[in-house]
Structures are given as C-alpha cells and as structure tokens.
Amino acid sequence: MIKTKCLNQTRVWLLPTLAVVFLLTALTLLFILQSREQEIQSAERDDILWAVYQLDRENLKLNSLLNRYRYKQNSKIWKEARLRFEILYSRITVLRHGQYNNLIEIKERTHNLSLQSFKIIDLMDELFTATNASSPEKLTKLLQLSQQLNRVTEELVTSLKSISSQINTGKRQELRQLYHYLLIIIILLILTMSLIIYLLVRKMSEARQAQHQAQLMASELETAVKKAEAASQAKSDFLATISHEIRTPMNGVLGMSELLFETPLNSEQKKYTHAISNSASALMRLLNELMDISKLEAGRLVLDYRKTQLAPLLREVIGFFSAGLNQKPVTLSLELAPEADAVYNTDPGRLRQVLLNLLGNALKFTEQGKVTLKIKLTPEGLFFEVEDTGVGIDEAVQQKMFELFTQADASISRRYGGTGLGLAISKRIIEQMGGNIRVRSRLNEGSSFYFTLPIQPCRP
C-alpha cells in the first residue's frame, strides 16, 4: 500500500521534472547557439582573406607601374611605384602582426606560403632601398620578384578561400547539429507538456464527475427527507382525524354519564358512574390536546384575536382551581399590576389555555406553600409569571421539558398523571403569539415559568 503510494508520488513528479530538464536543456542550447552567433572569428577570417587579396592586387599594380617605368623612365612613375611598394609592404605587416595570429588553424596551413611572400617582399625592399634601385638590371630583378610574388599570393588566396570555406562548412554543420538537438528537445518538451495537460484535464473531469455524484446524492437525500416529512404529516393528519372522530362518541359517553347521575342510583352504581365520567373526561382532555398538537404541527392553528379585558379572564382561571384547593395546604394568589389591568387585543381562549396549563402544572407539583400568577406591563409587552414552591425541575430536564410527550421524569406520569403534551402545546401557542416561554427552577425549591406577549393596552 505504502509502496504503491510512493510509486504514485514519483509518477506525479516525474513529468514536471522531465519538463524542467528539457526546458533547461533547450535554454542551454539556445545560449550556446547565441554565443556561437556572436563569434567574430569568421569575420576575422574574411579580413585576412581580404588582406591577402589586397596584397595580390597591390602587387599587380606595382608590377604594371614597374613595366611602365621600363618603357618610359619617368621619375614620377618611379615615385609612384615606390609608394605602391610601401603600400604593398604595409599589407604584409597585417599578415605578420595583426590579431589574425589568433587563427592558428589558418596560420599553420598557410605558413609556408606566407613565409615565401614575406621573403620575396623583403628582397624587393632591399632592392628598392639600394642606391641605384632604378637601374635596368635591378628593375628586371624587381619585376621577376613581383611575378614570383604574384604566383605565391594567388596560391595563398585560393588556399585561404578553401580553408575558410572548409571551416565555415564545419561550423555550419556544428550549428545545424545544435539546431537539430534543439528541435528534438523542443519536441520532447511539447510532448511532456501535452501529457501533463492531458493528465490535468483528466483529473479535472474526474473531479467534475465526483461533484456530479455528490449532487445526485444530495438530491436523493432531499427527496428522502421530503418523503419522511410527508409521512409525518400524514400521521398528524391521521391523528387529528381520529381524535375528531373519537370525540363525537366520547361526548355521547360523557352526556350519558351525566344523565345517568340524574337517575336514582345506589351507592355502588354511583361509584361506577363516577369512574365512567372521570375516565371519559380524561380521555376527552387527551383528545383535545392531541387535536391541538396536530393543528400546531400542521401550522393550522388560527388565533382568534379580539379585544379582551384582562382581569375577568384571570379571575376565571383562578376560580377554576380554587374549588379543588381545599385538599392541599397550598394558597393560590393573583398579583395583577394595576397598570396591566386593561383591554388587550389577543386570543383569550388560547391565553386561558396556556395559563390553565401552567397553573395546573404548578398546583400539581406543589404539595404545600403557594402558587402565584403575576402579571406586569413592561416596555416589551405583557409579562406573565407562574411561580410555585413545588418540587422543582432538574436542570437537565429543563431543556427537554417543552418537547412533545415529555415529562420531567418517567415516574411523574405515574405519580401525577398527565400526557406531557401541555407544556409543548403552551410553548407553541406562546410562540405563535410572538412570545417565548422560559423556566427558572431549582430542585426542591420551586419553579417559575414566565413569558412576555408583545401586546400593549388598547386605547379606549
């Protein structure tokens, strides 16, 4: 596994490394070619060729002047001939002392011929500087030497030319070879680059495919979620329908048990009828709560806002519980701030339901002490608080308490009864009314449920 990974790693770096190597080679070749171009040796070769050619020409000019002088002994012609010889002499100094000595190759191959020409010119120089240089015999000698020189320079020119072209051809071949290498390297470079590009493109398309698959998966998930939601909706609908359907016969049962009380019953019958009535009421309450929940879940709970006087509503709620209070040492009190007692635009039925639920819970879990309903008016709205001195609620439980079918403790339902739906329903109703219910509680010391509805007194 590790080995293949290593192999992969090398393979990944192989192509770029190759590309860089080829690139560097190409650059080196280019550099070499450039430096070759700048060589001026060939120019110097041209110069030496030119110098020898000039030597040849100057000799011809001298020769013709000497011939003219032979036929017409004119001092002016002689003077010119001497000038020509001086120029001729200057030509060999070029060959002798110039930087052309750098061109060793040429120097070696034309050495003999050059030496011959130097010797002839030195001889001519001796004749020219002699006292009677223009005498006929010396003139004949000069002419002979000039003809000798002519043969030598001609040979020199031709041999130089051939050497030069040989060298040129060689250099050109070398250059061509270099260009050839350069071409090969560039082709290799292009191939490597193409391969890299090909691999990159492949990688990219793979990535795109992966992305496409991820998208596909996401959309599948989405449909699954939608299906689940639909199933849950169907369940809620089913629950609502069933509750509604059951409520009708339950009303029958309740009504009939009421009617049964009116008839003469012995004590045993009375007890049973009581049990029927209680069971039916409990079932009825559960059904109502279930219906509320399904409505809330489906978002179909419609609030019925109307102008409501607060105090009578609160008194009604308190009054509902005062009858059953005598059995426990618990006092139930209402603290309504004077400025809060006004007319509000709210849903009185739902508000009553919430307060009944909260007070019911408080009384249920308070064995002794007091339960207080406090109402204040704050800048944020109308503040409600239900405070008790009951058993209190564990902090961990406080978080889950408002969820459906949850009670603070599994044992609670056995001890105190109840469906666990009340708080969840209250929370949702308050939320729909624009508030947010919170709890503050300490174990064995009591609890306090409070919320604020964003409503202000209506102006009369």
Partner 1 sequence: MFRPAFLLLLTFLLFSPAFAELPEAKGDILLTITGKIRHTNQQERAVFDLQLLESLEQLEVITQNPWFAGSNSYYGPLGRALIKAVGADPNSRMRVTSLNGFMAEIPVSDFLKYDVILALKKNDTYLRIRDRGPIFTIYPFDQHPHLNTEMHYNRSVWQVNTIEFY
What residue ranges bind partner 1 (CB under 8 A)? 40, 43-44, 47, 54, 58, 83, 86-87, 89-90, 93-94, 97-101
Structure tokens at 30: 């280019």
User: Which residue's CB is nearer to partner 1, number 40 or number 396?
Assistant: 40
**Cα(401)–Cα(358) distance, integer angstroms:** 13
Shortest distance (Å) from residue 173 CB to partner 1: 24
Question: How open is the CA angle 353-355-361, to the nearest 5 degrees?
Answer: 100
User: Which residue's CB is nearer to partner 1, number 41 or number 219?
Assistant: 41
**Cα(308)–Cα(344) distance, integer angstroms:** 5
**Cα(333)–Cα(365) distance, integer angstroms:** 16
**Cα(280)–Cα(254) distance, integer angstroms:** 6
Structure tokens at 355: 């307060």
User: Which residue's CB is nearer to partner 1, number 56 or number 387?
Assistant: 56
**Cα(133)–Cα(142) distance, integer angstroms:** 9
- Count CB atoms within 10 A of the CB of residue 409: 13
Shortest distance (Å) from residue 77 CB to partner 1: 16
Shortest distance (Å) from residue 58 CB to partner 1: 6
Asked if residues 185 and 25 have their Cβ atoms less than 8 Å apart, the reply is yes
Shortest distance (Å) from residue 65 CB to partner 1: 13
Asked if residues 56 and 157 have their Cβ atoms less than 8 Å apart, the reply is yes
User: Which residue's CB is nearer to partner 1, number 46 or number 220?
Assistant: 46
3-state secondary structure of 306: strand
Shortest distance (Å) from residue 52 CB to partner 1: 14
User: Which residue's CB is nearer to partner 1, number 97 or number 459?
Assistant: 97
**Cα(212)–Cα(168) distance, integer angstroms:** 65
Shortest distance (Å) from residue 146 CB to partner 1: 16
Q: What is the residue whose two structure tokens read 């010391």?
A: 445
User: Which residue's CB is nearer to partner 1, number 94 or number 284?
Assistant: 94
User: Which residue's CB is nearer to partner 1, number 126 or number 380?
Assistant: 126
User: Which residue's CB is nearer to partner 1, number 44 or number 394?
Assistant: 44
Residue type for 351, please?
L
Structure tokens at 148: 């000798």
Structure tokens at 17: 């490394």
**Cα(217)–Cα(317) distance, integer angstroms:** 54
Shortest distance (Å) from residue 46 CB to partner 1: 9
Shortest distance (Å) from residue 187 CB to partner 1: 35
Distance of CA 118 to the CA centre of its chain: 82
**Cα(309)–Cα(94) distance, integer angstroms:** 130
User: Which residue's CB is nearer to partner 1, number 75 or number 266?
Assistant: 75
Shortest distance (Å) from residue 169 CB to partner 1: 21
Residue type for 438, please?
R
Shortest distance (Å) from residue 206 CB to partner 1: 57
**Cα(53)–Cα(66) distance, integer angstroms:** 20
Q: Enumerate residues 6+ apart whose C-beta is below 8 A from 173.
A: none
Shortest distance (Å) from residue 81 CB to partner 1: 13
User: Which residue's CB is nearer to partner 1, number 79 or number 271?
Assistant: 79
User: Can you list the positions of beta strands (E) in 282-347?
Assistant: 306-309, 330-336, 343-346
- Count CB atoms within 10 A of the CB of residue 439: 18
User: Which residue's CB is nearer to partner 1, number 167 or number 313?
Assistant: 167
